């Protein structure tokens, strides 16, 4: 069923406000998100500096963007699971573990991208 609220600049502004509130909540309540944020603020400019051309910059910086995005989804899953099922349940634990695994895989993706882009340069230094 289509939304009765009109789409346009006002709705876009509301979405931006909600997104900002989500980022602030994650920063305030999630230690992992803060740690990944600190790394992002250091590595993103480094990726722009070290990347040779648009594709390399996109790989170095884009891979970094995926980690906090997955962390936000993981934190959202954990919050919903804790709200719905405060006591331990095997499925709740599995959902949390899978969210954590998604973040881990994207961290491996960062290492892979940075290693493949920068590794040959580092190894060719005599």
The one catalytic residue among 30, 36, 56, 71 = 71
Active site residue 90: no
Which burial class, exposed, middle or buried, applies to 63 when counting CB atoms under 10 A from its CB (0-12, 13-18, 19+)? buried
CA distances for 33 relative to 9, 38, 64, 101, 120, angstroms: 30, 9, 13, 15, 31
**Alpha-carbon dihedral sign for residues 13, 28, 100, 110:** positive
Question: Could you list the active site residues?
Answer: 71
């Amino acid at each position: 069923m289509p939304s009765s609220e009109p789409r346009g600049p006002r709705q876009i502004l509301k979405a931006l406000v909600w997104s900002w509130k989500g980022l602030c909540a994650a920063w305030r309540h999630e230690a992992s998100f803060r740690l990944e944020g600190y790394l992002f603020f250091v590595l993103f400019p480094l990726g722009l500096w070290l990347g040779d051309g648009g594709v390399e910059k996109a790989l170095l910086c884009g891979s970094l963007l995926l980690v906090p995005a997955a962390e936000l989804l993981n934190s959202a899953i954990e919050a919903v699971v804790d709200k719905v099922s405060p006591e331990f349940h095997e499925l709740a634990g599995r959902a949390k573990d899978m969210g954590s695994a998604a973040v881990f895989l994207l961290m491996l993706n960062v290492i892979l991208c940075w290693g493949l882009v920068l590794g040959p340069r580092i190894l060719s230094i005599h």
